[in-house]
Structure 1
Amino acid sequence: MNHTFVHRYELDSSRPPVGSALRDAAVRAIAPALVLFAAIVGIGFLIMGPLGGLPAENNLSRSVASGRTALMNSVTMVWSHIGNTEIVIGVCVVAVALIWWRTKQWWYAVVPAIAIAVQASVFVAATAIADRPRPTVKHLDPAPPTSSYPSGHMGAATALYLTFALMAQRIETAWLRRLVTTVCVVVPLLVGYARLYRGMHHLLDILVGLVNGVVCALLAWNYLRRKASSERATVPARQAVTS
């Protein structure tokens, strides 16, 4: 990924006016998310229309369900809960508060909140329109009132933890930076597998949820106009994160 994009909040640490930040968010995050929403809904119509619901995906879900074990039932329950709405929101609130406190940069600290808010908006609207049934296997989690497509758990976990992975690039200690980045990338994959294993989503629901989360995380990261610079303008703020 482009170095300037990843470190954009370090290259330009200037404090934006609140009004300017809100306008930037509307133009650079919310407006592009409308295009993402249209694409996700279009794929949903394709699945439920010409593709006839993709029965082969239901066969895959049955195959996965046939291999369930007591141990994996317990393990995937934990993985699945990571993507629960209350868990995602709770982790996000704590993270935003800590990052704001450590960096004193509210415009940077709110990035994870923007990511999951945009993701959730796209997901809720798309799932209400697509209305895809869940796999015809035993559901190991309570089924929320939303449809199977796309996966909200996968989208939320991806949006949140990919944002954390981008933020982790400020960590100066190489091994710690790599470790945190790896964990943040792996967590959504565990959530996605758990949702498939536990019969809550078809594979394509999870993949589209992944795309939703990735795109919304990148839109949130890019929501604020920043000026690229050849010098790091916020070394003290970066040290504050790692000290």
Structure 2
Amino acid sequence: MPFLTRYVDDESRPHASSALRDLAVRVLAPAVLLWVVIVGIGKLIEGPLGGLTAENAVNHALADGRTPLWNSITMVWSRIGNTEIVIGVCIVMVALIWWRTRQWWVAVVPAIAIAVQATVFVLATAVTGRARPDVEHLDPAPPTSSYPSGHVGASTALYFTLAAIAQRIPNPVLRRVVTVVCLVIPFLVAYARLYRGMHHLSDVIVGFLNGLTCAVLAWAYLRRDGVRPRA
């Protein structure tokens, strides 16, 4: 069964109990391994790799090239990844998808993605404690450490799952536009966080990998057996 069309090829309604069981086995258990990998990379960066000081050149180059116009543009891009924006967009989209498809098991996919991403991020950043780049910070620094990027992880988890759901849009032009917008947004957030001095390059890369992995896990959370008619 093609990965992107798994919820179209099999539209059978799952029981809530089986969906929860699949969620535990297919998402929560792999998320523990994901957390171990992210923490391991963080400890490697702060330990044997000496903090990857070569990354400082990227932050200083971006800081030296700041302009008032790009400060304003990246402020908007950065805020797209704010917790309240991500949660707000997720709630609206879950409600909209549920209303349009009448399939709650599909509508909850973005919520699963950002919830798992946030859990992995919070637990990982709590035990790594990496300092933020040594440049002027254009955004308020949250209490979490620099590694990994929560903004990038959250926006990736949310918008990549929305891009997958967008493949159900019948109008081909609208489908392509929505897909491209959803795929581009996390990269805008990533650039903004680097430009605004809030993260090292490796923080952004690992944040993206966290969000991408959680998006894939969320999309595959429910066991789909094959082509079935709508229940």
After TM superposition, the score normalised by the length of structure 2 is 0.97
Distance 1:155 1:30 in 2: 17
In structure 2, give the amino acid aligned to 1:25: L
Q: Which runs of 5+ in 1 are unaligned?
A: 238-243
Work out the CA distance in 2 between the residues paired with 1:104 and 1:227: 20
Partner Cα distance (1:121, 1:161) in 2: 18
- Give the TM-score taking structure 1 as reference length: 0.93
Alignment of 1:130-149 (within 5 A): 130-149=128-147
1:21 maps to a residue whose letter is A
1:85, CA displacement in angstroms? Answer: 0.2
Q: How many angstroms apart in 2 are the aligned matches of 1:216 and 1:146?
A: 20
Q: Say which SS state the counterpart of residue 122 (structure 1) adopts.
A: helix
| Alpha-carbon distance in 2 for matches of 1:196, 1:152 | 13
Select the residue among 207, 210, 213 that pairs with 2:211. 213
Q: Is the 8 A contact 1:96 1:109 kept in 2?
A: yes
For these two proteins, the number of residue pairs brought into alignment is 231
Correspondence for 1:10 among 5, 8, 22: 8
Q: Which residue pairs with 2:172 in the alignment?
A: 174
Where structure 2 has 5 or more consecutive residues not aligned to the other structure, the ranges are none
Q: Secondary structure at the match of 2:3?
A: helix
Name the aligned partner's letter for residue 125 of structure 1: L
Summarize deviations over 1:80-112 as a string: whole Å, max 9, x none: 000000000000001101111111111110000
Matched to 2:38, the amino acid is: I
Aligned counterparts of 1:190 and 1:225: Cα–Cα separation in 2: 33
Letter in 1 for 2:44: L
Indicate conservation of the 8 Å contact 1:116/1:159, yes or no: yes
Over aligned residue pairs, what C-alpha RMSD do you find? Answer: 1.2
Q: Report the Cα distance in structure 2 between the residues aligned to 1:214 and 1:190, rounded to whole angstroms.
A: 15
Task: Calculate percent identity across the aligned residue pairs.
Answer: 68
Partner amino acid, structure 1, of 2:213: V
Counterpart in the other structure of 1:118? 116
Structure 1 residue 225 corresponds to structure 2 residue 186 = no
Q: Aligned partners of 2:205 and 2:182: how far apart in 1? A: 17
1:183 and 1:63 map into 2 onto residues whose CA distance is: 28
Code of the residue aligned with 2:69 in structure 1: it is L
- CA contact under 8 A between 1:4 and 1:228: conserved in structure 2? no
Q: CA deviation at 1:228?
A: 2.0
